Amino acid sequence: MEFKNFETLAIRTQMEQTSQREHSAPIYMNSGFTFNDAEHARALFSNEVEGNIYTRYSNPNNNEFIEKLCLMEGAEDGMSMASGMAAMFTSIAAFVSAGDHIVASRSVFGSTHQILTQLLPKWGISHTYVDIDNPEGFEEAIQENTKMIFIETPSNPAIDLLDIEYLGKLADKHGIILNVDNCFATPYVQNPLKLGAHIVTHSATKFIDGQGRTIAGAVLGSKELIEQVRFMARHTGPALSPFNGWILSKSLETLAVRMERHCENALALAQFLEEREEVEFVKYPFLPSHPQYELAKKQMRAGGGLTTFEVKGGIEAGRKFLNALKMCSFTANLGDTRTICAHPASTTHSKLTEEERLQVGITPGLIRISAGLEHIEDIKADIAQALEVSQLEVVEKVK
């Protein structure tokens, strides 16, 4: 029987049952697989038949995870990776050679920024950054030797959006690849390949696992493009542990229900923050006040699990807000059952100058919230009391 619906695909896509007749998939925690005979081995190695050879190449748990993710994103093929960064690096490196050029949104994840600015130049690969509020800049930045456009939408931590359909067409016009890091949205909220992107990359560490248990990633796209990613991954070795593949395949079964609640809580929080006098502005894709609300409605199924706001009083007020939180976690991660608050100006982006921070939308009092799955009233109550403290002149640590 064939299924088309997201939830059913996530739950009913499963590896073949073994002779033990297990209901839920077992873990294949092994490195190698045997051959039936010399002919079978030859056919496997020359890609004439499908089958597992060695876990660096493929493994039943990783295959199940990636097969599901492909169905959920609308991808022909994919490759699981040991981390989101292994996915980002391999999805770029597989398609560029010395002398090539990449156009990227300036608002990319910190380690992606290090790959573009510190590592790729060692092999003669250059890049041009385009500010997220200047979408026309992408076309202007494309050169003769440009091979890829790399973006994230919604952006981190400013929650600005880029038009995937527009950039997909632009990439087609120039015969280059549009690579979208879809980690913030997840396949439940947004499917870049269906909007015209060529490669989709994920850090599965965030909402896909959703419970802060593991590091993993994935690269998805057409058979033809993934063939190049697979060649690079098989021979350079960023293979996912089968144990993590098993965890993540289970996680995908609940992605839809979890994302529904993450999005519902994030929207409720954004609406609540808009009413607070301590707050300068709130950004959430599905709030009518978001400057790209129409685009959000066009390319996203819901607003996502992250919202961001500016607390009045700048860096100092941002610090006070975080110190005053009693329930919400203070960590740099996101996409967890637990609500997480982050203050980029004093933590992840503190080494940048104020001007560099403003270029990527990080205002001094910007707080990013990754809405968790706790009861919304408890999340609101904690944030409300921390907002009150953020405006006090002298804060006494409440034990």
Ligand X SMILES: *Cc1c(COP(=O)(O)O)cnc(C)c1O
- Least distance (Å) between residue 216 CB and ligand X: 6
What backbone torsions phi and psi does residue 273 show, to the nearest 5 degrees? -65, -35
- Least distance (Å) between residue 304 CB and ligand X: 12
Q: What 3-state DSSP class applies to 238?
A: coil
| Residue with nearest beta carbon to ligand X | 84
- Least distance (Å) between residue 182 CB and ligand X: 9
- Least distance (Å) between residue 241 CB and ligand X: 13
Which residue lies nearer to ligand X by CB, 153 or 363?
Answer: 153
Contact 63, 15 (CB under 8 A): yes
Distances (CA, A) of 39 to 46, 180, 196: 11, 41, 41
Which residue lies nearer to ligand X by CB, 100 or 181?
Answer: 181
Q: 219: buried, middle or exposed (CB in 10 Å: 19+, 13-18, 0-12)?
A: buried
* Partners of residue 206 on adjacent β-strands: none
Which residues of the chain form contacts with ligand X (CB under 6 A)?
83-85, 88, 109, 152, 156, 181, 183-184, 203, 205-206, 215, 217
Order the strands of the 146-152 sheet from edge to edge. Answer: 77-81, 217-221, 199-203, 177-181, 146-152, 101-105, 126-130
Which residue lies nearer to ligand X by CB, 114 or 145?
Answer: 114
Which residue lies nearer to ligand X by CB, 86 or 324?
Answer: 86
Distances (CA, A) of 259 to 141, 189, 268, 306, 377: 35, 8, 14, 11, 18
Which residue lies nearer to ligand X by CB, 115 or 130?
Answer: 115
Instruction: Round to whole Å and give the CA distance between 217 and 241.
Output: 11
- Least distance (Å) between residue 10 CB and ligand X: 20
Which residue lies nearer to ligand X by CB, 319 or 368?
Answer: 368
Which residue lies nearer to ligand X by CB, 72 or 204?
Answer: 204
- Least distance (Å) between residue 245 CB and ligand X: 14
Which residue lies nearer to ligand X by CB, 142 or 177?
Answer: 177
Instruction: Round to whole Å and give the CA distance between 72 and 144.
Output: 35
H/E element holding 101?
strand 101-105
Instruction: Round to whole Å and give the CA distance between 66 and 141.
Output: 34
- Least distance (Å) between residue 23 CB and ligand X: 30
CA angle 166, 167, 168 (to 5 degrees): 90
Distances (CA, A) of 127 to 157, 168, 217: 22, 18, 23
- Least distance (Å) between residue 86 CB and ligand X: 7
